[in-house]
Amino acid sequence: MRIVLAFDKFKGSATSQQLNDAVQQALSEDPGLSVSTVPIADGGDGTTDVLAACKQGQWVSISVPAPLIVLPPVNARYFLCDDGTALIEVAAASGLVLVPDELRDPFRTSTLGTGLMMRDALERGCRHIVLGMGGSATCDAAMGILCALGVEFFNADGRHLFPCGANLREIAHIETAGIPHEVHECLFTLLADVDNPLCGERGTANVYAPQKGADPEQVRQLELGMRHVAEIVGEEIATTAGCGAAGGIPSLMLHLLNCELLAGAPYVIAHNGMDKAIDHANLIITGEGRLDNQTLMGKGPGHVIKLAHEHNIPVAAICGAIDTDFDPKEAGLLAAIGVSEGLQLEEAMDTTSTLNRVCIAARQLITKLKESSNDAMVK
């Protein structure tokens, strides 16, 4: 039996590579199995690691401002490919995990650190930046990134605006004369892990700002700020799928720079060798931290499931938890197993414990499939 493992991360617990490697080792004890692995990501945390595994190049570390300027600088890293492409994650410099729970405030956080990572890559000769946008602590519509790349924002009185969500409504003039030539020469590929628009009920402020620490009044103000941004760049941006990613990063970047906005999961799958790996596969096993209806709406495992269906390959999922509203059969899954249901948070998030539970589940899944196959042959 030829099996392909295509796990996405279990966020905060285990990476895609850790999951794939552990399960491959666990199944290698069965001589009847041929197991290969393909790491999966969707534009969120871990995307750079997955894409870098398919490239030649080197990791670059740089000290940049934290998402909240009062915090100490962070040591962020990105991957500089030999072909001149830089693989960068918003989460590395402007991630939610970099801000203590009690200080989280998308009114004040900024993507400035991410922009400085980009600036560093450009100064090293990079002319194509692939930006994974998931996991941000920000809601500044890329003001911080753009300031690092030479853009200046002014209010109606001509005062410089600090790049943060609180100042979106104050933007009266955007000065682009300071953008250096290397920025204009660069293509920015923005990978979205969600399809939310910039504004509205499903917009970035209403859906994600509360998760980043915003209170109801701040959510209202941030929504007004995003609507003001839409007035500046064109009303169509308000409803464009994916423009709500990472606190609205695509909105101003698409307006001012040479950018393309793409869904993260299909992009990664197109570059990680998935098509070749599943050739002649008998089973694909995928998974992520939580299996829910969002899984089928832009997440990595959702695209693995879609690809499996297109090639008529059975697919199963092993995840941390399964949402009660998620119907595995309707999703076309052969099986769906949750390995952390009912556990205390500390145990559920422990890496070693998680990997052990996933391996046990994978072995049990294969055993059941073999038994089912034997029963069918007897009948």
Render pLDDT for 168-182 as a digit per residue (tens, 0 to 9).
999 999 999 999 999
Q: Is the pLDDT of residue 378 over 50?
A: no
Give backbone dihedrals phi and psi of 42, rounded to 5 degrees, phi first: -130, 20
3-class secondary-structure state, position 268:
helix
Question: The tokens of 262 are what?
Answer: 């793409």
- Phi-psi label, residue 74: left if phi above 0, alpha if psi -120 to 50, beta otherwise: beta
Bridge partners (DSSP) of residue 63 are 75
pLDDT score recorded for residue 377? 35
The pLDDT of 218-244, averaged and rounded, is: 95
Percent of the chain past pLDDT 70, that is, above it, reads 98
Indicate the pTM of the whole model: 0.90
The pLDDT of 243-262, averaged and rounded, is: 96
